[in-house]
Structure 1
Amino acid sequence: MADDRVDDRLDDRLTDDRTTNDRTANGRVDDRADGRTTNDRAADRVDRRVGDRADGGVDGGGVMADDRGVATVVGVACIAVFALLIVFGVRLGGVVVERHEVAGAADLAALAAAAHLTDGPVGACDRARWVAERMGKRLGECAVSGWEVVVRVDGAVSVFGTPSVRARAGPAEG
């Protein structure tokens, strides 16, 4: 007899107009007329506290409510910074290469001028200018003092300035 009463109560619960979707995770049935479960209401309360509004607005605390897409923006910013560093590194590398080329041109121009000192100071400086121009550089200064020649060769203008190198050639001291 007692078993029949339990079965009747179970049948009444199953045939109730509520569906199994109205039950919460712990098996409680929602008794309110809006048809929402207790878990739905709890989620709404959490959403309001966190500020996660469906319209993506700002909550009362002044914090952006919707942070979807933040990783994309941060990723793009990181890529942009990385690209700028690469461009800066390439430019800086080009300046270093140019400076080495100017140094080589200055050394060769000074040696060429010293080798042509027998032609006089004008002939020696003309030869230094010829060597610098053949290397794509510009002879900025040429000074002859006895058997010693000092030249200054300038490179191409860049963002970081114009590389300029002095070189000296003449007889060995001693």
Structure 2
Amino acid sequence: MSWAGSGSGSDRGSASLWLLAVGLALVVFSLGGAAVEAARVARHQSRVAADLGALAGAAHAIEGADRACARAAAIAAANSARITGCTLDGFDLQVTAEVTVEPLPGMSRVARATARAGPVRGDSGPAA
């Protein structure tokens, strides 16, 4: 008895179609995962830029808001971000940084983060 040619002819080549469908599903899931990770990286990048910008700008807070915000913007730009908000309240500097990311072609998203830096307040030493 020969197995070749026996059975119905309707299932011939179905393994190729199943393999193609599984491969396509893997590609779609991989693209989705890459898009999610690109957004996650942009969020971390905006947080780092805001944190470092606020720290650097607060070091120049005594020189005024313009100088402090300019320093914060320079540090944020060095971290591939841009400053969208900068406020000096006394010696406290609050910085908002954003990073634009394109996780998939034609899909652009913005990740924003805000950070504050300034002098330590209150009793910072142990009681004697």
Q: Return the TM-score normalized by structure 2.
A: 0.80
Q: Does 1:162 align with 2:125?
A: no
Across the aligned residues of Structure 1 and Structure 2, the Cα RMSD in angstroms comes to: 1.6
Look at both structures and tell me which one has the larger radius of gyration over its CA atoms. Answer: 1
Q: CA deviation at 1:84?
A: 1.2
Instruction: Name whichever structure is richer in strand by fraction.
Output: 2
CA distance in 2, matches of 1:160, 1:77: 28
Structure 1 residue ranges without an equivalent (≥5): 1-46, 57-65
Q: Per the alignment, in what secondary structure is the counterpart of residue 88 of structure 2?
A: strand
Q: CA deviation at 1:140?
A: 0.7
CA distance in 2, matches of 1:84, 1:157: 19
Match of 1:113 in 2: 57
CA distance in 2, matches of 1:157, 1:98: 6
Structure 2 residue ranges without an equivalent (≥5): 1-6, 123-128
CA distance in 2, matches of 1:105, 1:162: 14
Identity of aligned residues (%): 33
Q: Does 1:140 align with 2:84?
A: yes
Q: Per the alignment, in what secondary structure is the counterpart of residue 110 of structure 2?
A: coil
Greater RCO (CA < 8 Å, at least 6 residues apart): 2
One-letter code of the match for 2:79?
M
Residues 157, 90 of structure 1: alpha-carbon distance in 2 compared, 3 angstrom cutoff: closer
Q: CA deviation at 1:91?
A: 2.1
